[in-house]
Amino acid sequence: MARKLKCARCGVDLEMKKIDFKYFEVEIAKEIPCCPSCGQYFIDQELAEGRMRAAEMELEDK
Ligand SMILES: [Zn+2]
């Protein structure tokens, strides 16, 4: 997981932060990339499509 993302607005590297959020009544704590400057965070495609459970299993396998 060496993917570096940049904030489109600020042009600074995003930092991984643990975020708690609710998704369809399920509370999730997950590290997602956040902009340290403007606080914008980026939810990846799997999360956006509600496949976070599969994504977390992949992470734990490693
Ligand atoms: Zn930003």
What residues does each domain of the chain span? 15-61
Cα–Cα distance between 27 and 62 in angstroms, integer?
23
pLDDT tops 70 at residue 35: yes
Task: Calculate how far, in angstroms, residue 11's C-alpha sits from the geometric centre of ligand 1.
Answer: 7
Cα–Cα distance between 23 and 30 in angstroms, integer?
12
Task: Calculate how far, in angstroms, residue 10's C-alpha sits from the geometric centre of ligand 1.
Answer: 4
Rounded alpha-carbon distances, angstroms, from residue 3 to 10, 15, 24, 33, 56: 18, 11, 28, 10, 17
Task: Calculate how far, in angstroms, residue 55's C-alpha sits from the geometric centre of ligand 1.
Answer: 25
Compute the radius of gyration of the chain from its Cα atoms. Answer: 12
Task: Calculate how far, in angstroms, residue 14's C-alpha sits from the geometric centre of ligand 1.
Answer: 8
What mean pLDDT is reported for the chain? 77
How many residues can be counted in the chain?
Answer: 62
| 18-27, 31-40, 47-56: least confidently modelled range | 47-56
Task: Calculate how far, in angstroms, residue 50's C-alpha sits from the geometric centre of ligand 1.
Answer: 25
